[in-house]
Structure 1
Amino acid sequence: MKFRVERDVFADAVAWAARSLPVRPSAPVLAGLLIEAGDEGLVLSSFDYETSARAELSADLEVSGKVLVSGRLLADICRSLPHKPIDFDLNGAKLELKCGSGRFSLQTMPVEDYPSLPTVPPASGVVNGEEFASAVSQAVTAAGRDDMLPVLTGVRIEIEGDRMSLLATDRFRLSHRELTWTPNDTTASLAALVPAKVLSDTAKTLSGDVTISISSAGGEGIIGFEGRSGDGLRRTTTRLLDGEFPKVRSLFPAEHLTVATISKQELIDTVKRVALVAERNTAVQLRFVGDEVILDSQSGDEAQATEAVSADVTGDDLVTGFNPEYLLQGLSAMAGDKVDLSFTQPTKPVVIQATGASENNLFRYLLMPRRLLS
C-alpha cells in the first residue's frame, strides 16, 4: 500500500474515526485504526463492538491495500505534523510515513483479526445537520452520567411522521426538544435509545443533510448516522441501549399558576454570583415577588449573598430553590434573550423554555426543586 494525502484532510479524518476508540480495549486490535486504500479512495475505520466510525476521503493512490495501526498514536502523530502532504508506504510489518523532514514508522497489527463493521440499516430519513446538532446539544443537557443506570445515560429519539422528539433525564431534570425532519416513510413510528455521548460527539461533527438509519431487527437495535465533515463523508453506527426509558412526558404540567419572564443572561450571571457562597449540595433560593426574583444563598454563618433580578411575574408569589449547577446548565442551553420559568407550586418542578419559542423547535427543561435550608 502506498499513497499521498493532504495533512489537514487526513488528520481531520483520523481524529474523527479515532474518537470512539476504547481506552481499555478488550482485545489489542480494537485499539487499531483500519486504513483501506482502493477504488473508493481512502477509508478509515474503527469499531469496538458497540460503536463504529468510518471516514472516506480522497488521496493520490499508487498501490492499494489495507493496514491496521494504533489509532490514538496515529492521531497524535498527524496532529503534530507540519502542514505539508504526507506520504505513506507499507513496508513489511511497518507503515512508514513521511511529512516534510519528519519520518515515522508504525508497527502494524494483524488485519485478519479485526472485526467487520456492522451493516448500516436502510435509511429512515434525513435531517438538517445544523438543526440536529443544536437539538442534540440541548437534549443531552439532562442525560445521566451514572453507568449504574445505563438507561438514563441515553437520549430517547421518538419519531412520528415528520416530527422528531429528543428526551433525556437523570431523575433530577428532564429535557425535551422537538424538531422536524424528512422521513422516508411519512407514516413511520420509530423510537431509539441512543448513548448520549455517542449522539453528542456525532451530531456536532456532521454538516449538510444527515441521514439517520434506525433498525431493531433481530432484537438488537442499531442506529446509523451519515453526513459530511471537512472534505469527506462520515458514517457511524452504535448499538441502542437496552431497557425501558421512563415515561416522562406526563411530568410536564398542562397549566401553570406562576410564570416569570426574565433576561436569560442576567439570570445566569446572577445565579453564578450568588452560588459562590452556597454550601456544597445546597440550593440557591429564588423568591418570586412582584416584579423581581430575589436570589439567596449562604455558607453557614460564614457568608451570605442576596441579589435581585428584574422579572415580569404573573400569578402567585412563591419561594423555591434549585441546584445552581443544574439551573445554570438548563439556562445556558436555551436559545433567545429571555426565558420563561413556569410553576404550579413551590414544591413542584419548574419548566424553563425560551420566551416565544416556536412549537417546531421547542426546547423545554424541567428541573426538580431542592429542599431549602431553614
Structure 2
Amino acid sequence: MKFRVERDVLAEAVTWVARGLPARPPVPVLAGILLEAADDGTLTLSAFDYEVSARVTVAADVAEAGTVLVLGRLLADISRNLPDRPIDVATDAGKVQVTCGASRFSLLMMPADDYPTLPASPEPTGSVDGHLFTQAVAQVSVAADRGDTLPILTGVRVEVDGEKMTLLATDRYRLAMRELTWNPRSPDANHVVLVPGRTLSETARSLGASGSIDVALGATAGGDGLAGFEAGRRRTTTRLLDGEYPKVASIFPTSTETDAVVRTADLVEAVKRVALVAERNTPVRLRFAGDQVAIDAGTGEDAQASEAVECALSGPEIEIAFNPTYLLDGLGAVGTDWTRISFTQASRPAVMSGQESADGEADTSYRYVLMPVRFAS
C-alpha cells in the first residue's frame, strides 16, 4: 500500500474515527484504525468496538491500493503534530512508514485479517437538519443517567411519528423532552428506539456541522438493532439498548398553578453564586413572591448565601428547592434569553421551557422537568 494525502485531511479523518476507540479494548486489534486505500483515489478509515462503528472516506493520491491496521490513537497523535505538508504513507517489511517533510515514523502493522467486519447500516429512515439535531440531542442528553445502576436510563429514547421526532431522557431526578420536525423517507414512518446517550451526543456533535444528517433506525438485514447516522462521507452506527423504557409521560403536569418568567442569564449567575455554599447534595431554595425570586442556600452554623432576581409571577407564591447542578443543567439547555418555570405545588415536579421575550409565549417544543428536593422549613 502506498498513498499521499494532505496533512489536515488525514489529521481530521483520523481524529474523527479515533474518538470511538475503546480505552480498554477487549481484544488488541480493536485499538487499531483500519486504513483502506483504493484505486479510485479514496482512503477509507474505520474503527469498531463491537458496539459503535465509525467510517470516513477522504481523497488521496493512491499509488498502490491496500489495507493496513495501525494503532489508532498513536496515528491520531502523529498526524495532528506533523508539519503542514503532504503525508506519504507506505508499507515496507511489516511496518507502516509515515513521512512528512523531514519527519519520519515507522509504525507496527497490526493483523488486519483479525479485524472484525463493520456492521452494515440500516436503510435510511429519513434526514434531519444537522444544527437542529445537534441542539436537540444536547438539550435532552443532559438528563440521561451517567451511572450503571440502570443501563436503560443511560439511553435517549427516540420516537418517530411521521414528520415528528421526539427525543426523551431521564435519570429519575429530571426529565428532558424535545420535539422537532424532520424529513422521513415514508410519511407514515413509525419507530421507537433507545440509543446510548453518550454515543448519540458525540455523534451529533461530530456531524452537526453538516447541513443534513441521514438517520437510520431499525434492524439490519442480520436482525441486529442498530441506529445509523451519516453526513457527507462520514458514517457511524451504534447498537441499540434493549429493554422497556419507563412510561414517564405522566410526569408532565396537565395544568399549573404558578408560572414565573425570569431572564435566563440572571438566574444562572445567581444560582451559581449562591450554590458556592451548598455542600454536596444540599439544595438551593427558591422563593417566588411578588416581582422577584429569592435564592438562598446554607442553614444554621454553615456558610449561607442569598440573592434575589427579578421575575414576572402569575399565580400563588411558592417556595421550592432544587439540586443546583440539575437546575443549572436545565437553564443551560433551554437555550433562550428567558425561561418560564411552571409549578403545581412545592412537592411536585416543576417544568422549565424557554421563550424569546419576557412577555412572549413559552416554546414547549423543549421541556425540562425537575424534581424538587425536600428541605427543612
TM-score when scaled to structure 1? 0.96
Equivalent residue, structure 2, for 1:191: 192
> 1:258 touches 1:343 (CA, 8 Å); kept in 2?
yes
1:272-303 deviation per Cα after TM superposition (whole angstroms, max 9, x unaligned): 01111112211100001111111110164132
Amino acid of the structure 2 residue aligned with 1:321 = A
User: Aligned partners of 2:329 and 2:313: how far apart in 1?
Assistant: 22
Equivalent residue, structure 2, for 1:259: 259
Equivalent residue, structure 2, for 1:96: 97
Give the drift of 1:216: 3.0
Q: How does 1:268-283 map to 2 (within 5 A)?
A: 268-283=268-283
1:170-208 deviation per Cα after TM superposition (whole angstroms, max 9, x unaligned): 000000001110001111110110011111111111111
Give the secondary-structure state (helix, strand or coil) at the position aligned to 1:303: coil
1:306-341 deviation per Cα after TM superposition (whole angstroms, max 9, x unaligned): 111110000011111000011001101112210000
Equivalent residue, structure 2, for 1:235: 235
Amino acid of the structure 2 residue aligned with 1:329 = D
- What is the aligned-residue RMSD (CA, Å)? 1.2
Give the secondary-structure state (helix, strand or coil) at the position aligned to 2:57: strand
> 1:327 touches 1:367 (CA, 8 Å); kept in 2?
yes
Q: How does 1:160-199 map to 2 (within 5 A)?
A: 160-199=161-200
Q: How does 1:1-374 map to 2 (within 5 A)?
A: 1-38=1-38, 39=40, 41-206=42-207, 207-216=210-219, 220-228=224-232, 233-298=233-298, 300-355=300-355, 356-358=361-363, 362-374=365-377
Amino acid of the structure 1 residue aligned with 2:32 = G
Amino acid of the structure 2 residue aligned with 1:304 = Q
User: Aligned partners of 1:26 and 1:273: how far apart in 2?
Assistant: 44
Task: List structure 1 runs of 4+ shifted beyond 6 angstroms.
Answer: none
User: Aligned partners of 1:93 and 1:149: how far apart in 2?
Assistant: 46
Give the secondary-structure state (helix, strand or coil) at the position aligned to 1:43: strand
User: Aligned partners of 1:134 and 1:63: how far apart in 2?
Assistant: 42
Give the drift of 1:14: 0.3
> 2:354 touches 2:363 (CA, 8 Å); kept in 1?
no
Give the secondary-structure state (helix, strand or coil) at the position aligned to 2:106: strand
Give the drift of 1:33: 0.3
Which segment is superposed worse, 76-85 or 13-22? 76-85
Q: 1:240 to 1:65 in 2, by over 3 A?
A: same
> 2:46 touches 2:55 (CA, 8 Å); kept in 1?
yes
User: Aligned partners of 2:309 and 2:223: how far apart in 1?
Assistant: 52
> 2:156 touches 2:194 (CA, 8 Å); kept in 1?
yes
User: Aligned partners of 1:274 and 1:301: how far apart in 2?
Assistant: 16
Q: 1:40 to 1:135 in 2, by over 3 A?
A: farther
Give the drift of 1:357: 4.4
Amino acid of the structure 1 residue aligned with 2:11 = A
Give the secondary-structure state (helix, strand or coil) at the position aligned to 1:222: strand
What are structure 1's unaligned runs of at least 5 residues? none
What are structure 2's unaligned runs of at least 5 residues? 356-360
Give the secondary-structure state (helix, strand or coil) at the position aligned to 1:148: coil
Amino acid of the structure 2 residue aligned with 1:215 = G
1:117-161 deviation per Cα after TM superposition (whole angstroms, max 9, x unaligned): 001111100101111011111110101001221100010000000
Which segment is superposed worse, 127-136 or 207-216? 207-216
> 1:277 touches 1:299 (CA, 8 Å); kept in 2?
no
User: Aligned partners of 1:37 and 1:80: how far apart in 2?
Assistant: 22
User: Aligned partners of 1:40 and 1:200: how far apart in 2?
Assistant: 32
> 1:279 touches 1:299 (CA, 8 Å); kept in 2?
no
Give the secondary-structure state (helix, strand or coil) at the position aligned to 2:346: coil
Give the secondary-structure state (helix, strand or coil) at the position aligned to 2:298: strand
Aligned length: 368
User: Aligned partners of 2:13 and 2:347: how far apart in 1?
Assistant: 50
Give the fraction of aligned pairs with identical amino acids, expressed as a percent: 53
Q: 1:219 to 1:112 in 2, by over 3 A?
A: closer
Give the drift of 1:220: 3.1
Amino acid of the structure 1 residue aligned with 2:230 = E
Give the secondary-structure state (helix, strand or coil) at the position aligned to 1:311: strand
Give the secondary-structure state (helix, strand or coil) at the position aligned to 2:276: helix
User: Aligned partners of 1:225 and 1:187: how far apart in 2?
Assistant: 20
Amino acid of the structure 2 residue aligned with 1:116 = T
Which segment is superposed worse, 215-224 or 59-68? 215-224
TM-score when scaled to structure 2? 0.95
Q: 1:357 to 1:85 in 2, by over 3 A?
A: farther
> 2:260 touches 2:341 (CA, 8 Å); kept in 1?
yes
Give the secondary-structure state (helix, strand or coil) at the position aligned to 1:271: helix
Equivalent residue, structure 1, for 2:358: none
Give the secondary-structure state (helix, strand or coil) at the position aligned to 2:336: coil
1:201-238 deviation per Cα after TM superposition (whole angstroms, max 9, x unaligned): 1111111110011113665310100003xxxx100001
